[in-house]
């Protein structure tokens, strides 16, 4: 029963309540009051080449209009993208993150560990409406990460 669980928590850990406040409460749910300005899709094709790309990505609002631009810089830091990859677009193999099948010059298939490190710098957001330009932050996710990363202003 939830009442019993709460009562047990309340009696057991009075010092935790003092230290953590409401966040220590197992039933506390933080409310996030954010307004989504829009979504900016940063394409990572430049990682195939050893170049730094500076790009003003359009921020698309929920209405499908350009709400502003997100200025980013994308570059490969370490790792390489093989010249020739065994083509298999099945969903089972395309989502694996462990190894990559590469065909060497003699035609043999070699398994290599995938490891590519890139840097995405969020420089600024421009052209935003005045009513949405106070405390703007970016939240992004890479395909191999479960949780989003927040870049504060």
Model confidence pLDDT, tens digit, residues 74-103: 998 887 766 555 454 444 444 344 555 666
Give the per-residue pLDDT at 23: 53
The answer to whether residues 66 and 121 belong to one domain is: yes
What is the band of 64 on the pLDDT scale with cuts at 50, 70, 90? very high
The answer to whether residues 24 and 70 belong to one domain is: no
What is the band of 6 on the pLDDT scale with cuts at 50, 70, 90? confident
The answer to whether residues 1 and 21 belong to one domain is: yes
d(CA 89, CA 111): 17
The answer to whether residues 45 and 74 belong to one domain is: yes
The answer to whether residues 69 and 127 belong to one domain is: yes
Range of the domain at 3: 1-31
The answer to whether residues 120 and 145 belong to one domain is: yes
Give the per-residue pLDDT at 102: 64
Q: Which of 105, 39, 103 is nearest to 67 (CA)?
A: 39
The answer to whether residues 133 and 105 belong to one domain is: no
Number of independent structural domains in the chain: 3
The answer to whether residues 21 and 42 belong to one domain is: no
- pLDDT tens profile 21-55: 555 666 666 556 777 889 999 888 888 888 899 99
The answer to whether residues 42 and 65 belong to one domain is: yes
Q: Which of 31, 37, 32 is nearest to 131 (CA)?
A: 37
What is the band of 153 on the pLDDT scale with cuts at 50, 70, 90? confident
Mean pLDDT score, 57-77:
92
């Amino acid at each position: 029963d939830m009442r019993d669980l709460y009562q047990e928590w309340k009696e057991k850990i009075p010092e935790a309540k003092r230290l953590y406040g409401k966040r220590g409460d197992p039933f506390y749910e933080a409310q996030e009051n954010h307004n989504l300005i829009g979504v900016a899709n940063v394409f990572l094709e430049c990682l195939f080449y050893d170049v730094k790309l500076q790009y003003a990505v359009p921020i698309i609002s929920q209405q499908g209009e350009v709400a502003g631009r997100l200025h980013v810089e994308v570059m490969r830091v370490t790792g390489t993208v093989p010249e020739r990859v065994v083509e298999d677009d099945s969903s089972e193999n395309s989502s694996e993150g462990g190894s990559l099948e590469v065909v060497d010059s003699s035609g043999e298939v070699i398994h290599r560990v995938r490891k590519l490190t890139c840097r995405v710098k969020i420089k600024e957001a421009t052209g935003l409406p005045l009513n949405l330009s106070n405390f703007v932050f970016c939240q992004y996710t890479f395909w191999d990460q479960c949780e989003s990363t927040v870049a504060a202003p």
